[in-house]
């Protein structure tokens, strides 16, 4: 790392963090104006609104637009350098074009690592805060939420040969009932268990009460009655929550476990979960690609200066968002592989990066 590398890297990071901070402030102001009535109805004080909502909202909005602000930040300060002939001077001094891009690589990788770690662990925790507040104080009176509350019967596949159902399950008390479970061997039922109630208790196990357990072996039947019984099922209370924010609130290890559980159950909507999982990795590569594209596009001095560069940057950003949305829709509503859906935008923009690099004046 030489002085010129530190010079470019300092401009890169300073511009990015200033831009993302400024946008976060604007986003909070706009959000406050939209949710003022909800905050008043919640009867929460200023401190509790900050800790119970905006502590989750701010990381959410920053992570959502992180790659785009990296891109805009790179275009902005690089265009200024090009306008002041700094880049021409750097290249004229004998520095190769690839060498000039080194601090952009370093800055892009550094920010990509920050975003990757945040996507895996920090942002999901923030989504728990934001999602919990919105579910309780904002979505509580929506028709969507009312429908879920009325339809709170849950049917699930515990493993490849065991099926279960819980009627009137309450996510807050983690209690429901009646409960039933049956096991199959081929097309034949070999066990039928029913209970009056199922409860997640302090032992971190499911407790079933009023148990009637019938085991079938051909024409032979064995019946056992229990007042209560603890059972180790593969599902946990969080797996039964009907929450539109579920996939966002799970850390990556939790999301991986949840996907495997849903695959075992044969649940619908798996592509949406898988896209979320793959997107957490793909977005970090997007940061690097957009950093390089921004540097290459803005590194050329043109008539019109920063305005032209920013206009080109917004067009490229819009194209990326459109491609990303189309690939997501084709996967969730069609048969496109979720891994491909998450990485197609990066594959396309990798080609764009290579073409721009080769055509850039060096």
Residue spans of alpha helices (H) in the chain: 3-42, 46-49, 55-83, 86-92, 97-100, 102-117, 123-133, 143-150, 246-249, 252-265, 270-298, 306-332, 338-359
Write out the chain's pLDDT in tens, 362 residues: 788 889 999 999 999 999 999 999 999 999 999 888 888 888 888 898 999 899 999 999 999 889 989 998 999 899 888 888 898 888 888 889 999 999 999 999 999 999 999 999 999 999 888 887 887 777 655 544 444 444 567 878 777 788 888 888 877 678 888 999 989 888 888 899 999 999 988 778 889 999 999 998 888 888 888 888 888 887 788 777 656 667 888 899 988 988 887 777 666 678 888 999 999 999 999 999 999 999 998 888 766 566 777 787 778 878 888 888 888 888 888 888 999 999 999 999 999 999 989 988 77
How far CA 97 is from CA of 48, 173, 252, 286, 349, in Å, comes to: 52, 62, 38, 22, 20
Residues 44/35, Cβ–Cβ less than 8 Å = no
Residues 158/234, Cβ–Cβ less than 8 Å = yes
Residues 194/301, Cβ–Cβ less than 8 Å = no
Cα(154)–Cα(156) distance, rounded to whole angstroms? 7
CA 229 to chain centre: 38
DSSP string, 49-84: HIIIIIHHHHHHHHHHHHHHHHHHHHHHHHHHHHHT
Backbone angles phi, psi at 186, to 5 degrees: 70, -120
pLDDT of residue 266: 66
* Helix, coil or strand: residue 285: helix
pLDDT of residue 148: 44
How far CA 21 is from CA of 6, 282, 293, 345, in Å, comes to: 22, 24, 23, 27
């Amino acid at each position: 790392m030489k002085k010129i590398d530190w010079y470019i890297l300092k401009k890169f990071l300073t511009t990015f963090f200033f831009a993302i901070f400024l946008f976060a402030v604007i986003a909070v102001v706009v959000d406050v104006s939209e949710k003022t009535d909800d905050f008043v109805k919640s009867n929460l004080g200023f401190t509790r609104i900050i800790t119970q909502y905006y502590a989750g909202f701010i990381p959410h909005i920053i992570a959502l637009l992180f790659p785009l602000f990296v891109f805009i930040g790179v275009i902005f300060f690089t265009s200024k350098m090009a306008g002041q002939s700094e880049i021409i001077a750097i290249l004229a001094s004998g520095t190769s074009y690839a060498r000039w891009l080194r601090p952009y690589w370093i800055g892009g990788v550094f920010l990509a690592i920050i975003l990757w770690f945040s996507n895996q662990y920090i942002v999901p925790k923030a989504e728990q805060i934001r999602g919990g507040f919105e579910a309780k104080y904002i979505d509580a009176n929506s028709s969507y939420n009312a429908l879920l509350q009325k339809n709170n019967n849950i049917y699930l596949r515990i493993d490849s040969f065991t099926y279960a159902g819980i009627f009137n399950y309450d996510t807050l008390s983690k209690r429901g009932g009646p409960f039933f479970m049956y096991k199959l061997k081929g097309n034949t039922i070999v066990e039928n268990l029913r209970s009056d109630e199922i409860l997640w208790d302090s032992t971190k196990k499911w407790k079933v009460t009023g148990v009637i357990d019938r085991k079938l072996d051909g024409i032979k039947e064995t019946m056992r009655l229990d007042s209560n019984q603890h059972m180790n099922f593969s599902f946990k209370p969080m797996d039964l929550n009907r929450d539109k924010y579920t996939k966002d609130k799970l850390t990556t290890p939790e999301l991986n476990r949840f996907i495997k559980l849903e695959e075992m159950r044969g649940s619908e909507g798996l592509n949406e979960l898988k896209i979320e999982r793959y997107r957490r990795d793909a977005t970090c590569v997007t940061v690097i690609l957009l950093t390089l594209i921004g540097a290459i596009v803005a590194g050329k001095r043109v008539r019109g200066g920063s305005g032209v560069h920013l206009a080109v940057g917004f067009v490229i950003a819009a194209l990326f968002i459109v491609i990303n949305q189309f690939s997501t829709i084709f996967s969730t509503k069609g048969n496109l592989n979720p891994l491909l859906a998450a990485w197609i935008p990066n594959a396309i923009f990798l080609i764009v990066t290579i073409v721009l690099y080769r055509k850039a004046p060096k």
